[in-house]
Amino acid sequence: MSADTHASILIVEDEESIATVVAHRLSRSGYRSDWAPTGELGLQKARATPFDLILLDIHLPGISGFDVLETLRKEGLRTPVFIVSADRFVDDRVKGLRLGADDYLVKPFDFDELMARIEAILRRSAAPRPPQVKVGDVSINVEEQKATRAGRSLEMSNIEFRLLEFLARNKNQAVSRAEIAKEIWGHENYKETNVIDVYMGYLRSALDGGQKQKMIFDTFDGGFVLKG
């Protein structure tokens, strides 16, 4: 999806000055936007309108952005969520991604980088994907974002599911960290390599935990391969 498709973006941000500048930049790039200054209003608007992307701050009056994200994901809303926050701690970024965010950018940010990441998320969400993927005894339902191994349901976050799907579509082939970063976060220069390690650890626990036959392996150059 590109800007000329007039994608709609919900800005959930309590600072009006920031929301105004972001909305102006989005408009210049061809996007439509709406603004919610609180978490409660953000939830109402996200539930009522099929936005293409939600730009979400964490520190909001009332309920936090984390609570907004968690609630939306528990309700089954799969709208891409891009967190933009002043929190610089990796743990906070991991928490946001773990709850189902599609990307995380720290304030203050460069607007060109913001727009590039938004475009990457929208392209990724609009790209056609096969409805079912199978590797060995693992079955992946892409449309429902559910996966099983030997008939057992696998509990995973949005990011972990996308990681599994990406590895499955490249089964028995090594994928690099740069390829993972580009696929999952939309850019190869994702610097928080620890985040990739954390998510691969989560995925390994979900997929290989308690299994005699492991499926995810490290490659000699620091990448990963799903065998099956």
Q: Is the pLDDT of residue 1 over 60?
A: no
Query: Using CA atoms, how far apart are residues 225 and 168, in angstroms rounded to an integer?
Result: 9
Which range among 19-28, 33-42, 151-160 shows the weakest confidence by mean pLDDT?
Answer: 151-160
Is 6 within 8 Å of 15 (Cβ atoms)?
no
Query: Using CA atoms, how far apart are residues 227 and 215, in angstroms rounded to an integer?
Result: 5
Q: How confident is the model at residue 104 (pLDDT cuts 50, 70, 90)?
A: confident
Q: Is the pLDDT of residue 121 over 90?
A: no
Q: Is the pLDDT of residue 51 over 60?
A: yes
CA distances from 96 to 16, 81, 99 (A): 23, 10, 5
Interstrand relation of 152-153 and 146-149 (parallel, antiparallel or unpaired): antiparallel
Q: How confident is the model at residue 178 (pLDDT cuts 50, 70, 90)?
A: confident
Interstrand relation of 146-149 and 138-141 (parallel, antiparallel or unpaired): antiparallel
Which range among 4-8, 38-42, 73-77 shows the weakest confidence by mean pLDDT?
Answer: 4-8
Q: Please give the domain boundaries of the chain with CATH numbers for all domains.
A: 3-126 (3.40.50.2300), 132-226 (1.10.10.10)
High-pLDDT (> 90) share of the chain, %: 54
Instruction: Tell me which residue of 126, 123, 133 sits closest to 182, measured CA to CA.
Output: 123
